[in-house]
């Protein structure tokens, strides 16, 4: 049987990249989805592609009213909400801390952290009422290790990860699970969108991304969608409060090819004993 038969989901940032691929996978697995995004044309087009089990809701995640409207659309149509995937995001403000205008800091946190908070806030009442639910928030390896993303973005993603953990502690008693998926380097329009460049540049990233982690290929939206499917499905029914990295090993450490030659060359060693010189 399909993994998400009879389930419903709201996916923010659902018009592009990771969110769009997750919407496709969820529908293929039997779910009904609301695609919530500020890119109306793309969101409408994806909803048409996915057929009667997908609806688009025009949504800026900084707006409490619009986030609530996306959740209400799922509840009005289908009477329940099984998965809230708080995924909308962008790269945020770039540059050194002492050059960043305070309002650009606020905007970055507002999209990345307030947006997730609002998605959780408005999904929780329906999930409490039905006695189940899975909230999945998109973090990043930038929120786990320093230097893997812009400064404010990285701090915001760390906040998303911790918000997910504290919420998991609060909501477990209602059988609501909260987890984070933390992508590594995934070929999507994100970087281009953030600085207003065309999406056609995505494929230019692929060679560069293939060199950034032990697994020698760029990450793809489907890699993340598969993890979100696991977190949304009953297969993960005992998993909560986790930040699951899907990154080809990028955040784990230094790839073998970049480690010191001294570690990589085999040499016979002697057993050290202080009395035997
Ligand atoms: P993407 O640009 O393809 O998709 C992001 C979507 O979010 C877009 O459709 C965009 O319109 C939407 N969005 C942005 N700001 C919004 C707002 N204020 N309100 C509503 N919608 C908004 O990029 P993606 O890579 O699929 O990004 C999805 C998530 O994954 C983001 O949270 C991002 O930070 C995270 N992430 C991406 C990578 C990567 O390498 N691509 C790595 C780590 C984390």
| pLDDT tens per residue across span 157-201 | 999 999 999 999 999 999 999 999 999 999 998 877 776 776 666
225 Cα–ligand 1 center, Å: 13
| Mean pLDDT confidence for 69-97 | 98
> Picking from 18-22, 147-151, 224-228, 258-262, which range would have the lowest pLDDT averaged per residue?
258-262
Mean pLDDT value of segment 62-86: 98
pLDDT of residue 277: 59
Taking CB atoms and a 6 Å cutoff, what residues make up the pocket around ligand 1? 13, 15-19, 37-39, 59-62, 87-90, 111, 138, 140, 183, 185-186, 188-190, 193
At residue 39, the pLDDT reads 96
Percent of the chain with pLDDT over 90: 88
Residue 190 is predicted with a pLDDT of 87
Q: What is the pLDDT, as a whole number, of residue 53?
A: 98
How confident is the model over 18-45, as a mean pLDDT?
98
Query: Rounded CA gap, 153 and 55, in Å?
Result: 29
Mutate to test the pocket of ligand 1, among 40, 163, 190 (most ligand atoms within 8 A of CB): 190
Please state, in angstroms and as integers, the Cα–Cα distance from residue 174 to each residue in 99, 148, 167, following that order. Answer: 44, 35, 11
Pick the more confident residue, 192 or 133: 133
pLDDT at 274 (0 to 100): 78
* Dist CA 10 CA 261 (whole Å): 49
Write down the pLDDT at residue 272: 77
Mean pLDDT of 203-217: 90
Instruction: Give whole-number Cα distances, 130 to 120, 127, 165, 176, 234, in Å.
Output: 15, 5, 22, 10, 15
Catalytic residue annotation: 153
Averaged over 126-152, what is the pLDDT? 98
Torsion of Cα atoms, 73 then 75 then 76 then 79, to 10°: 150
Exposed, middle or buried: residue 94 (CB in 10 Å: 0-12, 13-18, 19+)? Answer: middle
Given a cut of 90, whether residue 22 has pLDDT beyond it is yes
Q: Identify the pLDDT of residue 242.
A: 98
Q: pTM of the prediction?
A: 0.96
Question: Atom 33 of ligand 1 has which residue's CA nearest to it?
Answer: 89
Could you identify the atom of ligand 1 that is nearest to the CA of residue 43?
9
Closest C-alpha to 34, from 92, 75, 90: 75
Strand partners, 137: 86, 180
Average pLDDT of every residue of the chain:
95
């Amino acid at each position: 049987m399909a993994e998400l038969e009879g389930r419903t989901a709201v996916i923010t940032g659902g018009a592009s990249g990771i969110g769009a691929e997750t919407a496709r996978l969820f529908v293929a697995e039997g779910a009904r989805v609301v695609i919530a995004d500020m890119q109306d044309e793309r969101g409408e087009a994806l909803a048409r592609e996915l057929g009667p089990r997908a609806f688009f809701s025009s949504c800026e995640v900084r707006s409490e009213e619009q986030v609530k409207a996306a959740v209400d659309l799922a509840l009005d149509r289908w009477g329940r909400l099984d998965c809230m995937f708080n995924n909308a995001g962008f790269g945020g403000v770039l540059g050194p801390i002492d050059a960043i205008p305070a309002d650009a800091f606020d905007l970055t946190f507002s999209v990345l952290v307030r947006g997730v908070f609002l998605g959780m806030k408005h999904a929780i009442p329906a999930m409490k009422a039905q006695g189940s639910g899975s909230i999945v928030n998109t973090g990043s390896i930038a929120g786990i290790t320093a230097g893997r993303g812009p400064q404010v973005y990285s701090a915001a993603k760390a906040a998303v990860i911790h918000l997910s953990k504290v919420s998991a502690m609060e909501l477990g008693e209602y059988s609501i699970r909260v987890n984070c998926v933390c992508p590594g380097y995934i070929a999507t329009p994100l970087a281009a969108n953030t600085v207003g460049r065309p999406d056609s540049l995505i494929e230019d990233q692929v060679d560069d991304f293939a060199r950034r982690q032990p697994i020698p290929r760029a990450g793809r939206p489907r890699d993340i969608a598969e993890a979100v499917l696991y977190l949304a499905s009953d297969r993960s029914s005992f998993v909560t409060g986790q930040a699951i990295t899907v990154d080809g090993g990028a955040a784990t450490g230094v790839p073998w090819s970049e480690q010191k030659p001294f570690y990589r060359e085999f040499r016979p060693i002697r057993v050290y004993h202080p009395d035997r010189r």
